[in-house]
């Protein structure tokens, strides 16, 4: 049996969680997921400003703090912290190990080859179309606005790095479940066509990849009785060589591992449950059996899988204009009615100014912003306050900029009893995503392991 812990569900997740995973009990592997879809385009911009950046900086900071434990206990760490600069990340991690007092000689593996930004035209010339999976449009529609393009690689390049003795493996983009699946393949020697075991491994990776969402975080069932959110434990899977596993967390930590919470997480961000698609295997979620295995323990078994497709998924980020969001808070009485009048006033002014953004959307936070007017019902005139939130989007930056100057005046020249939050709204660049497929044969994952 091996223990694989996850200590990071996204870049911006708890800084303490990975340290706690190492310090609060036994683990063999620690996986850290830093890359949300939008992260790659942000990192791409950072690298354009400074060629040494472009990776998740939280990761080397964590390594420095944990260097002693990682070295003395032989814990292996697999993280997609490399972003668009895995080599730069390795250099920073090597330095962090030195600063953290780890003995020399540790091996760090890097997986590259996911970044296909520089190859897009070569692909197009070679007949690889990369049409938008949702709309069928050709990539040429947005080619000149592309900011990053990354393939979701699978587990095998990580396995290769582990086989070469890497104790820390840094990847760029790879499918989220691949981080822990690679550990299982490496430890148990699973074959590349052992579909049921690979599927079980992909399921384990899927359940832990969002951190504490598997251990009582964001869980609807009996939420009031979930112990100690402040000290919530992050997920750990105890995996057997046959692929069955128990999901748990360290003893004495907060949160709760229950069938209810685990089921919510199994269904999180999936499509057709019979076809959970990764680069390495397709898992059938309708075959999973869950059983209570004691306090804070849920056993997974029965998972069936089948061969994946001949394609990798590619995520292409492209620039799609500008956006700004303005907010004003209206107080009791008749807060909702006042906020509605303010919204109409703002729109009339924008119209008179000739400011016509491609999209404008107003929501009334406290009244009906999350579920909409129809489902939320009529707001009470006694609401203590309502936040009016107006967002605009346009390919014309000037239109968005003009909008940002029309929020503050409303505080003095519109409906009464209002407070203004912050300064003028900031103008954001909008990044959109172009999902596409690419034949696996067109992409060469690169693995290198270095002693530092």
Partner 1 sequence: MPRVQLGLIAHARSGDKGNTTNIGLIALDPKYFAVLVEQVTADRVREHFHGICEGRVERFELPNLHALNFLLHESLDGGGTRSLRLDAQGKTYSSALLRMEVDIP
Where does this chain bind partner 1 (CB under 8 A)?
Answer: 37-38, 134, 213, 218, 220-221, 260, 263-274, 285-290, 320, 323, 325, 359-361, 363, 365, 369-375, 389, 391-393, 430-433, 435
Compute the distance between CA of residue 114 and CA of residue 277 in angstroms, rounded to an integer.
18
Which one, 168 or 303, has the nearer CB to partner 1?
303
Compute the distance between CA of residue 143 and CA of residue 449 in angstroms, rounded to an integer.
34
Measured in whole angstroms, the distance separating CA 383 from the mean position of its chain's CA atoms is: 35
Which one, 133 or 251, has the nearer CB to partner 1?
133
Min separation Cβ 28 and partner 1, Å: 28
Min separation Cβ 267 and partner 1, Å: 3
Min separation Cβ 134 and partner 1, Å: 6
Min separation Cβ 97 and partner 1, Å: 35
With vertex at residue 290, the alpha carbon angle to CA 285 and CA 295, rounded to the nearest 5 degrees, is: 145
Which one, 287 or 448, has the nearer CB to partner 1?
287
Which token pair is 283?
A: 């898992």
Judge whether 437 and 314 are in contact, CB under 8 Å.
yes
Which one, 140 or 218, has the nearer CB to partner 1?
218
Min separation Cβ 395 and partner 1, Å: 12
Closest CA relative to residue 286, chosen from 264, 261, 262, 303:
303
**Which single residue is written with the structure tokens 């600063």?**
99
Compute the distance between CA of residue 341 and CA of residue 413 in angstroms, rounded to an integer.
12
Which one, 106 or 391, has the nearer CB to partner 1?
391
Which one, 250 or 323, has the nearer CB to partner 1?
323
Which one, 42 or 281, has the nearer CB to partner 1?
42
**Which single residue is written with the structure tokens 């490399």?**
82
Which one, 223 or 309, has the nearer CB to partner 1?
223
Q: Cα-Cα-Cα-Cα dihedral of 413, 358, 432, 15, to 10°?
A: 10
Which token pair is 28?
A: 């063999």
Which one, 356 or 361, has the nearer CB to partner 1?
361
Q: How many other CB atoms sit within 10 Å of the CB of residue 267? A: 10
Torsion angles phi and psi, residue 360, rounded to 5: -140, 135
Min separation Cβ 355 and partner 1, Å: 15
Min separation Cβ 3 and partner 1, Å: 25
Question: In 3-state terms, what secondary structure has residue 207?
Answer: helix
DSSP H or E stretch at residue 236? strand 236-239
Torsion angles phi and psi, residue 163, rounded to 5: -65, -25
Q: How many other CB atoms sit within 10 Å of the CB of residue 361? A: 11
Which token pair is 371?
A: 């579920």
Min separation Cβ 40 and partner 1, Å: 12
Instruction: Kindly write down the DSSP assignment for every residue of 41-74, as one continuous string.
Output: HHHHHHHHH-TT--S-THHHHHHHHHHHHHHHHT
Min separation Cβ 220 and partner 1, Å: 4
């Amino acid at each position: 049996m091996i223990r694989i812990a996850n200590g990071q569900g996204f870049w911006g997740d708890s800084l303490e969680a990975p340290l706690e995973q190492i310090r609060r009990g036994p683990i063999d592997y620690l996986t850290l997921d830093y890359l949300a879809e939008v992260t790659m385009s942000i990192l791409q911009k950072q690298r354009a400003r400074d060629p040494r950046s472009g990776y998740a900086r939280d990761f080397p900071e964590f390594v420095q703090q944990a260097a002693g434990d990682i070295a003395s206990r032989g814990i292996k760490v697999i993280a997609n912290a490399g972003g668009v600069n895995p080599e730069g990340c390795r250099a920073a991690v090597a330095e962090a190990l030195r600063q953290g007092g780890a003995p020399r000689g540790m091996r760090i593996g890097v997986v590259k080859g996911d970044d296909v930004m520089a190859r897009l035209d070569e692909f197009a010339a070679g007949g690889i179309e990369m049409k938008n999976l949702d709309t069928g449009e050709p990539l040429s529609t947005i080619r000149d606005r592309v900011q990053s393009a990354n393939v979701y690689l699978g587990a095998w390049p990580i396995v290769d790095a582990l086989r070469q003795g890497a104790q820390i493996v840094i990847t760029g983009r790879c499918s989220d479940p691949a981080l822990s699946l690679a550990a299982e393949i490496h430890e148990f020697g699973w074959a590349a066509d052992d579909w049921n075991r690979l599927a079980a491994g992909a399921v384990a990776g899927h359940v832990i990849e969002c951190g504490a969402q598997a251990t009582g975080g964001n869980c609807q069932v009996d939420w009031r009785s979930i112990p100690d959110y402040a000290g919530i434990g992050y997920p750990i899977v105890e995996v057997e060589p046959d692929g069955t596993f128990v999901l748990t967390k360290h003893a004495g930590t907060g949160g709760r591992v229950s069938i209810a919470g685990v089921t919510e997480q199994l269904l999180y961000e999936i499509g057709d449950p019979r076809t959970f698609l990764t680069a390495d295997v397709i898992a059938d979620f309708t075959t999973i059996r869950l059983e209570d295995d004691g306090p804070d323990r849920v056993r997974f078994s029965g998972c069936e899988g089948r061969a994946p497709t001949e394609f990798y998924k590619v995520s292409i980020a492209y620039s799609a204009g500008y956006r700004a969001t303005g907010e004003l808070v209206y107080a009791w009485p008749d807060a909702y009615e006042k906020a509605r009048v303010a919204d109409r006033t703002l729109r009339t002014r924008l119209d008179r100014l000739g400011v016509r953004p491609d999209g404008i959307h107003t929501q009334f936070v406290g009244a009906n912003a999350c579920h909409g007017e129809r489902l939320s019902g009529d707001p009470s005139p006694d609401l203590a306050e309502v936040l009016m939130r107006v967002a605009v989007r346009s390919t014309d930056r000037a239109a968005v900029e003009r909008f940002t100057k029309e929020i503050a005046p409303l505080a003095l020249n519109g409906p009464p009893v209002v407070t203004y939050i912050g300064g003028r709204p900031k103008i954001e660049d909008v990044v959109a995503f172009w999902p596409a497929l690419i034949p696996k044969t067109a992409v060469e994952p690169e693995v290198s392991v270095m002693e530092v």
